[in-house]
Amino acid sequence: MLHQALSAAREEDDNIDDQIFQNEVLENADLTGLDWTAVTFQKCRFVKCLFAGSSFYQVRFENCDFSNCSFLGTRWKDCTLTGCKGDGADLRESHWRGCALADTSLRYANCAQSMWDGCALKDCVLRESFWTGCKLKKLTAEGVDLSGVSFFHTPLSGLDFSTCGIEGLTVSESLSELRGLTIGAHQAIDLIKLLGVKVTL
């Protein structure tokens, strides 16, 4: 069904709207520049697919796998990702507004130069992903694994990571990215290590 919808959209230079796709598998598909509106993907798997320059509006990804796919320069608004796997995905220069991600894994994903406005992350795994040069505005993170994440040149002021795992964060030598960040007292030891201070318990 998804293959037919894609073919029709390409032939008619049209968008894909108001559809539900279940248990679909796409491999090495070129989906660049497509606009998706009010579409739901359930248990779909995308293998080395290219979504660069596409737009997603009110789109739902439920238990989908888009690991190692390219979403370079994509735009997302009012979307939800639940129980998904996007390890190694290329999300550079993507824009996210009013989106919610829950129980989703983005390990090793490249989110450099992306913008997140009014988004919520809950129980996600972002371990060792790259968030360099990002703009994070009104972002909430609850129970998120941020271990080993690079926030180089990404200001974290106004964010609350007190319920998140923050061991091994990477920031600049000045630690300027951490100014204004809220953490719990139990997490202080993880940030002290960035100063080169050894702590004995």
pTM to 2 decimal places? 0.92
Fill in the amino acid letter for 19: Q
Residue 91 belongs to domain spanning: 2-195
pLDDT at 197: 53
Q: Would you say residue 200 lies in a domain?
A: no
Residue 16 is part of a domain; what is its CATH number?
2.160.20.80
132-174 pLDDT tens trace? 999 999 999 999 999 999 999 999 999 999 999 999 999 998 8
Q: Would you say residue 201 lies in a domain?
A: no
Could you give the percent of the chain with pLDDT greater than 90? 81
Q: Is residue 187 over pLDDT 90?
A: no
Q: Would you say residue 116 lies in a domain?
A: yes
Rounded Cα gap, residues 42 and 135, in angstroms: 30
Rounded Cα gap, residues 70 and 52, in angstroms: 6
pLDDT at 12: 75
**Total structural domains in the chain?**
1
Q: DSSP label at 164?
A: S
